[in-house]
Amino acid sequence: MGMDKTSYKNFVLKNGISLTAGLIAFSVLLTSGGTKLDFYKGGQIINAPFSNGNVVGKDDIEINEVTEELKMPKDIPSSFESLKSAYYTVDKRTELLPTDIDVEKFENMELSIDNSISGPKILIFHTHSNEGYADSDGTLEDGIWGVGEELKNHLEDMLGVEVMHDTGRYDIVNGKGQVLGAYERMEPSIQKILDENPSIQMVIDMHRDGVAEGTRLVTEIDGKKCAKIMFFNGICRLNEGGTLKNLTYLPNPYIEENLALSFKLQSIASNYNGLTRKIYINAYRYSLHMKPLSMLVEVGAQTNTKEEAKNSMLYLAKSISQVITIK
């Protein structure tokens, strides 16, 4: 397959910026290198410093720039541009609008699971189950799926609900890795699970990011090294030459709920020392259209160890348990 190489430069902001919104003052510290970002169309990625987990397919783009590391403000900024700068990295293929983010509505939106219904309440799956870590041995259990199993156990302990963990291999075709088309292969299988288990009210698509070999997405929490996590939203809106177009061929009736969930999780999870990167906003819908409580999260990168990734799951589960109400 021929590859069309394109290069971009990351946005660099070397100094801390103090922002004031009304009576709320906060500081955002952004540090990034200015490393050139290279990507290849067709899903083959070489020396790509800051990807979005290599999510490639009909719904997907090739690769995105990194979300800058930051110290989250304790107070939520009131102005949209301040909020956008503090919480989000927006891919150039789309745009986040003031009408997309209603902080008051998000804060007051109840995100709940009805536990009176028999059966599993949460589904964890992996559109890219083949993603592994620096010390993974290539088996399902030793990569992102094993990290998902760690999250499953924590969620069951904290929430007291049954969590189903799918073992589907949607990025493997005829025994070989094939990222292209993984979302199209995933959807009918996951939809079948949801149809057969109407008790499932939340779905979590877990990925592992892909970065340059010199990049380490790691922080220390409670004396343990933890892989950084990144929440990801697709808003079904494409920027074509400066004109924004809604992708009506990729409908997602739950964009508002998706955005509220990631916003609330980011607000909670950011309290853990450097655990979160900024929420990434992209044009398409990925796996976020099948349930109102749909979440896509990137856990570390290929330069992290599996232990670092698993260590993060305690704090992700704690964050989810503070955002989701069990009824």
Q: Are 110 and 293 in contact (CB under 8 A)?
A: no
The pLDDT confidence band at residue 107, using thresholds 50, 70 and 90, is: very high
- Residue span of the structural domain in which 188 resides: 52-57+78-326
Number of domains forming the structure of the chain = 1
Residue 184 domain-assigned (yes or no):
yes
Write the CATH number for 158: 3.40.630.40
Does this model's pTM top 0.75? My answer is yes
Residue 39 domain-assigned (yes or no):
no
Residue 107 domain-assigned (yes or no):
yes
Residue 43 domain-assigned (yes or no):
no
What is the average pLDDT score of the chain? 81
* pLDDT tens track for 64-74: 444 444 344 45
Our CA angle for 274, 224, 312, nearest 5°, is 60
Which one, of 300, 282, 290, 283, lies nearest residue 237 by Cα?
283
**DSSP per residue, 105-151:** HHHH---EE-TTSSS--EEEE-TTTT---TT--SSGGGSHHHHHHHH
- Between CA 160 and CA 99 the distance in angstroms is 36
Residue 192 confidence (pLDDT) above 60? yes
Residue 25 domain-assigned (yes or no):
no
> Buried b / exposed e across 270-282, counting CB within 10 Å, b at 16+?
bebebbbbbbbbb
Mean pLDDT for the stretch of residues 243-270: 96
Residue 19 domain-assigned (yes or no):
no
Compute the chain's Rg from CA coordinates: 19
Q: What does the pLDDT read at residue 32? A: 31
Q: What does the pLDDT read at residue 57? A: 36
The pLDDT confidence band at residue 84, using thresholds 50, 70 and 90, is: very high
Residue 189 domain-assigned (yes or no):
yes
Query: Between residues 111 and 78, which one has the greater pLDDT?
Result: 111
Our CA angle for 294, 300, 302, nearest 5°, is 125
Residue 30 domain-assigned (yes or no):
no
Residue 42 confidence (pLDDT) above 70? no
